[in-house]
């Protein structure tokens, strides 16, 4: 049986990344994710990896662009405002088909905002991570263990698709400590093999060939750019069929369905359990990946029995609710319970909102 260890969210993510084969990290300090670069500054040299604290967010993400173009498993991390600055570099990685993983430990906003937890980067993560309309797989952990598992898998998905992958957390996940089981450490032979698998496209010291010129920004023809967009669109459609990840609870008899992701979903789930104990028929849909959004899960609701769907977010105005509306297709009533700017959703207020929806406000 694998040993459980007690770790902070940020440090557990960093260790999981190393175990998945991370060998290059560049970042810049910003609360509440600072323990990721702090941990990796110590840990990466132990596995002959490279850590760089860039002079800015822009410099850091472009260092990841360069390292990732060699087939080296590469990562950066930041929080909200820092991710905004990295958006151009992330879009470069998307257009050049460079695998990379990045972490966003969200804080309140817009602007500099607060350093407290929020979910106000949903649209940025799922709709506009940079110019050009590209998409990514976006994972939204609700526990430190999920953050560990998702980070480990993210590098494999990035390499499979040659595309950026985002782990979307928040300041609460970053700071909390929980027992986790860490994944197995990949051997140096395995890490090298993963890099070798990318030699057909990666810049690994061989003579420059025309087919690799796409890695350099500005060398694209109109025809090549459109061809890439067509290929990417096919990949996004495949994700819709094969790469959604969602938790569905009690949808068969639910009169109220709660919808939430990330740390808000953790609190929402405990609210649902209390309401079920009270005898209320409450179910839940929790997207573990908010991109691709699990639209098909909403087809499993018995709309003839449904009174309302309650969308729970740490964002004002609501952002995920628009994806919920597209998935529901006007088959049911949708309401929201929202907090914002660093205020965390509260279990008693979720319960009160449900009581109000079923006419039993207490």
pLDDT tens for 281-330 read 999 999 999 999 999 999 999 999 999 999 999 999 999 999 999 999 99
Do 250 and 234 sit in the same domain of this protein? no
Asked if residue 362 is part of any domain, the answer here is: no
Distance CA 57, CA 61 (A): 6
Do 31 and 65 sit in the same domain of this protein? yes
Q: Is 70 exceeded by the pLDDT of residue 219?
A: no
Q: Give the total number of structural domains in the chain.
A: 2
Do 164 and 46 sit in the same domain of this protein? yes
Instruction: Report the predicted TM-score, pTM, of the whole model to 2 decimal places.
Output: 0.95
Asked if residue 113 is part of any domain, the answer here is: yes
For residue 22, which of 154, 164, 180 has the smallest C-alpha distance?
154
What is the domain-level CATH number for residue 252? Answer: 3.40.50.920
For residue 320, which of 287, 298, 271 has the smallest C-alpha distance?
287
Q: Is 90 exceeded by the pLDDT of residue 87?
A: yes
Residues 19-62: pLDDT tens digits?
999 999 999 999 999 999 999 999 999 999 999 999 999 999 99
Do 33 and 121 sit in the same domain of this protein? yes
Residues 160-186: pLDDT tens digits?
999 999 999 999 999 999 999 999 999
Do 138 and 53 sit in the same domain of this protein? yes
Residues 5-31: pLDDT tens digits?
999 999 999 999 999 999 999 999 999
Do 157 and 41 sit in the same domain of this protein? yes
The DSSP call for residue 91 is: H
Do 136 and 117 sit in the same domain of this protein? yes
What are the respective helix, strand and coil percentages of the chain, to the nearest 5? 45, 20, 40
Q: Return the pLDDT at 2.
A: 73
What is the domain-level CATH number for residue 73? Answer: 3.40.50.970
Asked if residue 122 is part of any domain, the answer here is: yes
- Provide the domain limits for residue 100: 4-242
Q: Return the pLDDT at 222.
A: 83
Confirm if 346 and 339 have CB atoms less than 8 A apart. Answer: yes
Do 236 and 250 sit in the same domain of this protein? no
How is residue 313 written in tokens?
Answer: 């977010």
Do 129 and 16 sit in the same domain of this protein? yes
Last residue of a domain, one of 215, 242, 269: 242
Q: Return the pLDDT at 13.
A: 98
Last residue of a domain, one of 225, 242, 259: 242
Asked if residue 29 is part of any domain, the answer here is: yes
Distance CA 135, CA 293 (A): 11
Do 209 and 294 sit in the same domain of this protein? no
Last residue of a domain, one of 242, 264, 289: 242
């Amino acid at each position: 049986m694998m040993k459980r260890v007690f770790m902070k969210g940020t440090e557990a993510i960093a260790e999981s990344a190393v175990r998945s084969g991370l060998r290059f990290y560049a970042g810049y300090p910003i609360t509440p994710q600072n323990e990721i670069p702090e941990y990796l500054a110590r840990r990466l040299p132990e596995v002959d990896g490279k850590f760089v604290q860039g002079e800015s967010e822009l410099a850091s993400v472009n260092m990841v662009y360069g390292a990732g173009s060699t087939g080296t498993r590469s990562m950066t991390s930041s929080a909200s405002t820092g991710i905004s600055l990295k958006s151009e570099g992330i879009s470069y990685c998307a257009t050049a088909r460079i695998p990379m993983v990045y972490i966003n430990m969200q804080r309140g906003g817009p602007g500099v905002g607060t350093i407290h937890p929020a979910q106000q980067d949903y649209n940025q993560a799922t709709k506009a991570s940079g110019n050009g309309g590209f998409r990514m797989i976006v994972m939204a952990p609700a526990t430190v263990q999920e953050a560990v598992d998702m980070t480990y898998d993210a590098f494999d998905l990035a390499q499979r698709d040659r595309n950026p992958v985002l782990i979307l957390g928040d300041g609460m996940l970053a700071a909390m400590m929980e027992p986790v089981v860490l994944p197995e450490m990949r051997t140096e032979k395995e890490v090298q093999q993963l890099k070798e698998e990318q030699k057909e496209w990666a810049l690994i010291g061989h003579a420059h060939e025309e087919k690799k010129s796409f890695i350099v920004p500005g060398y694209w023809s109109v025809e090549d750019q459109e061809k890439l967009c067509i290929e990417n669109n096919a990949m996004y459609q495949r994700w819709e069929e094969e790469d959604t990840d969602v938790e569905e609870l009690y949808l068969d008899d639910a009169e109220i369905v709660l919808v939430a992701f990330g740390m808000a979903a953790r609190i929402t789930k405990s609210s649902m359990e209390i309401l079920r104990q009270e005898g209320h028929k409450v179910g839940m849909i929790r997207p573990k990946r908010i991109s691709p959004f699990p639209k098909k899960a909403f087809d499993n609701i018995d709309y003839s029995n449904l009174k309302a769907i309650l969308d729970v977010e740490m964002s004002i105005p609501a952002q995920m609710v628009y994806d919920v509306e597209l998935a529901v297709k006007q088959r049911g009533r949708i309401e929201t319970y929202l907090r914002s700017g660093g205020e965390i959703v509260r279990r008693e207020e979720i319960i009160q909102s449900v009581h109000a929806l079923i006419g039993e406000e207490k």
